[in-house]
Amino acid sequence: MKKVEVLAPAGNLPSLKAAVDNGADAVYFGFRDATNARNFEGLNFTEGEARQGIAYAHGHGARANVVLNTFPKVDDPAPWYRAVDAAARLGADAIILANLAVMKYCKERHPQLPIHLSVQASASNAEAIRFFQRHFQIRRVILPRVLTAPEIRQLHAQVDVELEVFAFGGLCVMAEGRCHLSSFVTGVSPNIEGVCSPARAVRFENHGEKLRTRLGGVLIAEYDQGEEAAYPTICKGCFQANDRVYHVMEEPGSLNILEILPQVIDAGVASLKIEGRQRTKAYVGTVTRILRQAVDAYYADPAAYRAKGSWQRALNATSEGTTHTLGTYEESWQ
């Protein structure tokens, strides 16, 4: 039986090494430019760092995937094409792409480089996946976080590509790649900017005894003293509706599938992805180690598998809102 892959994020070289050292089968990272969706100050890799990271991963029996998941600007796609060339030249094991033009370029110039379809392409049904397989020979699709475990099982029976799913980290309740919520208040596309809430549009304001967060001038949430403030996004904001103020769309919390790990693995997924290239080295090391232990425990004795309380407590300590949820893995959208 081929084990499911544990795939860890790397926002920098120390995080990449922490992921590999704690049992990741593969890591994913982006270059230090606008070609990936975590283009923050101090994050990501120069070409030299990427070379070191790939060599470190390969030297420890792990794979290294390069992320190019933003959409190029029509008047200047060159940086995305250069990033594809760099990934191929550096010996990346796969490249994660969302844009049709960039996929076409990669397929024609570097047919030996496996293409993994980014979650930003928002392919969540068999016909969409077959389209990308037919035209670009994708090897894997990263599924949006909107499918239940039975739906993933059904999809696995319908397509002939690997399925990658999110196992832990930030939860997006929208269909990634198709969400326009933040663009209404920031004026920029998340698919081009790479983030729902660009730092320049975020404000933290003291208002008497309370802390307020705003995005593009819109009040997102208000916190009492000592209350943990979440980074402001529209979908996790508190708004007035039905004569009360509450989290209308989603409460802050992290996705964590440990309690249903057997169902997700049995659905036929090839890779369990940890979200968080923007998170710390300690986060990457902790989450990778625990997911590695959980996956190994499952394969050692599937019938006896149980999510340990110590695993959940350690993961909750790293979670947004210090709590976790199964998201839509067990709850259908209405």
* Total structural domains within the chain: 2
Does residue 180 form part of some domain?
Answer: no
- Domain assignment of residue 330, yes or no: no
Single pTM value for the model? 0.86
pLDDT reported for residue 253: 66
In a domain, 333, yes or no: no
Domain boundary among 205, 230, 247: 247
Query: Which domain does 19 fall in, by range?
Result: 5-171+253-325
Provide mean pLDDT across the span 112-117: 98
**3-state DSSP percent of the chain in helix, strand and coil, to 5:** 40, 20, 40
Please state, in angstroms and rounded to a whole number, the distance separating the CA atoms of residues 64 and 28: 6
pLDDT tier for residue 71 given thresholds of 50, 70 and 90: confident
Residue 140 lies in a domain: yes
pLDDT of residue 333: 46
Please give the pLDDT value at position 334.
39
Q: Are residues 44 and 99 in the same domain?
A: yes
257 in the same domain as 236:
no
Same structural domain for residues 165 and 36?
Answer: yes
Greater confidence (87 vs 71) lies with 87
Please tell me the predicted confidence (pLDDT) of residue 123: 93
Instruction: Tell me the CB-side half-sphere exposure of residue 138, using CA atoms within 13 A.
Output: 31
* 141 contacts 117 by C-beta, under 8 angstroms: yes
Where b means 16+ CB within 10 Å and e means fewer, 272-282 reads bbbbbbbbebe
Inside any domain, residue 148: yes
Pick the residue with more confidence: 90 or 42?
A: 90
Query: Do 221 and 122 reside in the same domain of the chain?
Result: no
Tens of pLDDT, residue by residue over 165-196, are: 999 987 776 667 666 777 778 877 776 776 77
User: Is residue 320's pLDDT more than 70?
Assistant: no
Confidence of residue 321 (pLDDT cuts 50, 70, 90): low
b/e sequence 298-312, b meaning 16+ C-beta within 10 Å: beeeeeebebeeebb
Contacts of 188 (CB under 8 A, 6+ apart): 182, 198, 201
3 state SS of 73: strand
Asked whether residue 84 falls in the same domain as residue 221, the answer is no
Q: Say which DSSP state 76 is in.
A: B
- Over residues 14-27, mean pLDDT: 98
